[in-house]
Structure 1
Amino acid sequence: MDTSRMMVMCQPSDPVLRRMSSAVDQRGLREFLGARMFPERNWHQTLCGPYEACHATERTLARACDTALAAPMRAFRLRLNRIRSDRWPDEERIHWSFLSQGRPSDFDALLQFLRTEVQPDLPPDTGHTPHVTISYRAPAPLDTLRIQPIDWLIQQISLVVRQGTGNGWRYEVLQSWELPIMPANDHQLELFAPQ
């Protein structure tokens, strides 16, 4: 992708990222993929976008996130429980991804809220599924691999811009927002203690 892009995303905390990295290593996937593996520093869950980077895009996405916090949208959990490959219908590339068990209602609510808020200033956003891409150009399909479930509490969302070229590129965080954990979710907090 030659054009710089902006999007709203969330990235795993260090404890969650370590567990994801360990799952990849335990299955020998890092060695198999080599340079085709998406750098771990860039692993993420897209929530809105990507869009071409410019000041107008930044203002629109930031306003949508501000409004989401005022709504308020709330923190939610993804439970990553498998790794699988997909080939998108319009592409030849094979994607390998962590996939989530189910679709949390709060995940869908946040996606729909952001999609509505960026209109009519930005093109319609496409649907996003709960997943984290490991490779965008894997050399072969992958049968579904079950992994020890990894609970990821998504409490922070970020507006980012893609920076850099070649293998050194990364997402630069422009602004972040903390999603509240509602009282109904308090009983789940013990699931998210760093391990």
Structure 2
Amino acid sequence: MLLTYDAMALDPARRPRPEMAWSPGLGGHRLLFIARPDARMREAFDTATREHGIQARVGLALFPLVNWHQTLSDRFVDTPEARAKLLRAGGQVQAEGFTLALDQWRIAPNARDSANVDLRCSQPSAPLARLFAGLRHAMGEQGLESGVDPVPHVTLSYRFAHHARRLEVRPVRPIQWTIDSFELVVGGGDPYRYRMLGRWPLRPSASSGRA
């Protein structure tokens, strides 16, 4: 009888390490994979959010444009070991670039007695899901778990004072964002910023890969 084994379960070095996961209560710097718009795309986001009145409504609770991104993984405590594992994982990923069509903005109450504000796609993105799957597999090979779902979005604020305490979803003219690379970054500091540790290009797509 043929017996099969989970290599991760047998190899202690590849088992998930819960102590490497970052949470807000820990403070300090955190590591994560993200996709970030370049300077030209940030200008497009700036123009679109002004035209739709998002900046006027959210006001000072809005994140700086330089921090806007698509999250691609969970967050991990910043240690030399975690950096090395995540850099190896990033280098193993092979995926195609794609374009997200962000056509909604959403205000969602959160546990902080405020609300998250984000831009979203009304439809799921298969290419984004494939990138997530590739990263999840590569991180698993390094003994790291990531349970983040592949939701196409860009978060604009976590602390918008939203007294109605109900979900709001509004359409916007689609913002076309082509993602052709992803990064490993360390987040922290005051003001909070992301610093790139590694960047990997995505293969040109044969189709638009539109969400």
CA distance in 2 between counterparts of 1:39 and 1:135 reads 9
More moved, 91-100 vs 5-14: 91-100
Partner of 1:129: 151
Residue type matched to 2:29 in 1? Answer: S
Partner of 1:175: 198
Q: Which of the residues 124, 128, 133 maps onto 1:107?
A: 128
In the TM superposition, residue 13 of structure 1 has moved relative to its aligned partner by 2.2
CA distance in 1 between counterparts of 2:30 and 2:145 reads 14
- Whichever of the two has the greater Rg, that structure is 2
Partner of 2:20: none
Partner of 1:27: 52
CA distance in 2 between counterparts of 1:22 and 1:112 reads 32
Aligned Cα root-mean-square deviation (Å) = 2.1
Q: Any idea what SS the aligned residue of 1:136 has?
A: strand
Deviations 1:80-99 (A, max 9, x none): 111111234x5543101000
Residue type matched to 2:132 in 1? Answer: L
Partner of 1:162: 187
Number of aligned residues: 181
Q: Is 1:9 the counterpart of 2:34 in the alignment?
A: yes
Residue correspondence of structure 1 range 26-105 to structure 2 within 5 A: 26-68=51-93, 72-88=94-110, 92-105=113-126
Q: Any idea what SS the aligned residue of 1:48 has?
A: coil
CA distance in 2 between counterparts of 1:91 and 1:36 reads 13
CA distance in 2 between counterparts of 1:79 and 1:63 reads 30
Q: 1:125 to 1:143 in 2, by over 3 A?
A: closer
CA distance in 2 between counterparts of 1:132 and 1:118 reads 23
Q: 1:136 to 1:21 in 2, by over 3 A?
A: same
Structure 1 residue runs of 5 or longer lacking an equivalent are none
Structure 2 residue runs of 5 or longer lacking an equivalent are 1-23
Residue type matched to 1:87 in 2? Answer: P
Deviations 1:114-162 (A, max 9, x none): 1122126224433241100111111115632222211111111011001
